[in-house]
Chain A
């Protein structure tokens, strides 16, 4: 229980740090583009929008830094992230709300698949030393050095094109409206195969390597020898004894790598024109759409923190050693 509270406290602290960083960056924008924009659209924005942008970017010259900081928090508490420049006058939160689910879907499925496959391969390669699985190592390290997005480009070149079943871009076929029908879901899945496969292939090698290392360490422990001596089948020893113990550090590693995975996913989205938050971010960068950029940063960071916390929770549940403490 105590550990849980400590972890929760840590994530809350980090969230606070992220929000504060965001605030500070917003206040150091060169050239004061936001004021310029406000002036340009003066007649077309309603007063609440003006107020929120002012608070978010500290445009009120009469307010102290601390005062701005407090207004900033006030804005966030209302879920108000400002208005996008490029998709004017859509609020940032609406935009993110449209694009985020796709990213979550892609990241979620790809990560889980990659973890499962990578860990499985790692177990086998760590268990059977000197077998063909050893040859996987250089291949795995080659794959993990390839930037995801480049792999995506290759995949598109190779697998798509006229006459191919796999679509090369977008998250769903043009002209369809997102609804929860089987045909739409099927279409969405079809569009997700290549992007997800790209992510899976690039990331699973990382899991495989670390799992292999852990398996090697674990298999030299005495309790494995005892298990063999007891006459248990090889598969049982491999899975219930060795893999189970070797898995734990990988789970905590999984939590930590979520940040990296999210970064990689953005790029894949860009390559595949997948309608997720990554693509949105690219457009925002290109157009200097500061409210949108910062909104995305904030949302993604908080999402990663939440996912980290859940992974920590899973670890606490799975490792019996942590349950003893009060």
Chain B
């Protein structure tokens, strides 16, 4: 008998999902320990003005001599907290409105759908800028506002799925058993939407992180320091003209890396739920007689010497035969 090897849960065996989870973990760790391990306080001015990377300042300094590496480290927490919080608000809203809109019959559902469409079509950034720059902006208000403008996309998806689920027999059966509407929505429909909700949350977080950074870039900042603020200073101090690449390159890379990690995680979920999306194995394979054959979807090429029929089977990376 073979000893039980430690096997990752099936979801994480997918390469993309594992890579994404790893990246996310990396940033979460830094979000927590960032301010502790930062060598300087991000506001601490110094004499080394706009100096490139050195042993004292790994990512160089800005126009006030502040250490950019520390700014990024401290900023990670701001980015992660705001992104995830606003993302959570938006996801909860999209669930409530989307599912209710799909389940409630008649005018109720229709009007909620119109509401989501309105929020979807209004361009978010100008709206955000207007609201946050004209109102008293303390951090919580901005988080709330970002959350309030990011829910529409997923609400639409939830509504579409709920509409199709509503017609299923098991929902009618639940009604015939005498279940109340709220129990049906929460316990019968919702569990069938978990993949959609998970993937929606991750997508929303990508969006909220980018939005928050964008707002900081145009001068409306949420927390003390986040990656967008670094870029704001870089832009307004004309880092380009001074060829101070170290000022803006790390920040952007960090954003891109976080975004990629989340996107990979999302791919993993998608492929887990819909096996068809998985990247299949090599497209050209060698058959028994040594000929090369291109695999087509839906076809199992039958090749071999005349008189001899040898079907070629495709294998996907998980080792399961298609």
Touch A–B, Cβ below 8 Å:
yes
| A interface residues, Cβ below 8 angstroms from B | 10-11, 13-14, 17-18, 21-22, 25, 28-30, 128-131, 134, 137-138, 141-142, 144-147, 149-151, 153-154, 156-157, 168, 213, 216-217, 219-220, 224-225, 228, 256, 258-260, 262-263, 266-267, 270-271, 281-282, 285-286, 288, 290, 293-294, 296-297, 300-301, 304-305, 308
Task: Verify B248–A150 contact, CB threshold 8 A.
Answer: yes
Q: Is B283 a contact partner of A129 (Cβ separation < 8 A)? A: yes
The answer to whether A281 and B129 touch across the interface, beta carbons within 8 angstroms, is yes
Please state if B134 and A28 are interface contacts (CB–CB under 8 Å): yes
**Any A CB within 8 A of the CB of B201:** no
A288→B219 CA distance, assembly (Å): 12
Q: List 8 A-B pairs, Cβ < 8 Å.
A: A129-B280, A138-B16, A141-B259, A141-B260, A145-B206, A220-B276, A297-B130, A304-B121
- Give chain A nearest CB distance to B199 CB in angstroms: 12
- SS class of chain B's interface: helix, strand, loop or mixed? helix
List of A residues within 8 angstroms of B220 by Cβ:
285
Q: Counting chain A CB atoms within 10 Å of each CB, which of B121, B153, B252, B296 scores highest? A: B121
Residue of B nearest to A263 (CB): B125
Binds A, one of B46-54, B85-93, B209-217, B304-312: B209-217
Q: How many residues of B contact A (CB 8 A)?
A: 62
* Among A13, A144, A256, A308, contact of B114 (Cβ-Cβ < 8 Å): A13
When A and B form their complex, what is the total count of cross-chain residue pairs whose Cβ atoms lie within 8 Å? 174
- The reply to whether B255 and A146 form a contact with Cβ atoms under 8 Å apart is yes
Expressed in whole angstroms, the Cα–Cα distance for A208 and B120 within the complex equals 21
CA distance A273 to B100 in the complex (A): 45
Partner of B126 from the list A29, A144, A300 (CB cut-off 8 Å) is: A300
Within the complex, what minimum Cβ distance (angstroms) separates B58 from chain A? 20
> In the complex, A294 Cα to B133 Cα: how many Å?
11
Q: Which residues of B contact A (CB under 8 A)?
A: 16, 114, 117-118, 120-127, 129-131, 133-136, 153, 206, 210, 213-214, 217-220, 231, 234-235, 239-240, 243, 245, 248-249, 251-252, 255-260, 262-264, 267, 270, 276-277, 279-283, 295-299
- Using Cβ atoms and an 8 Å threshold, which residues of chain A touch B219? 282, 285-286
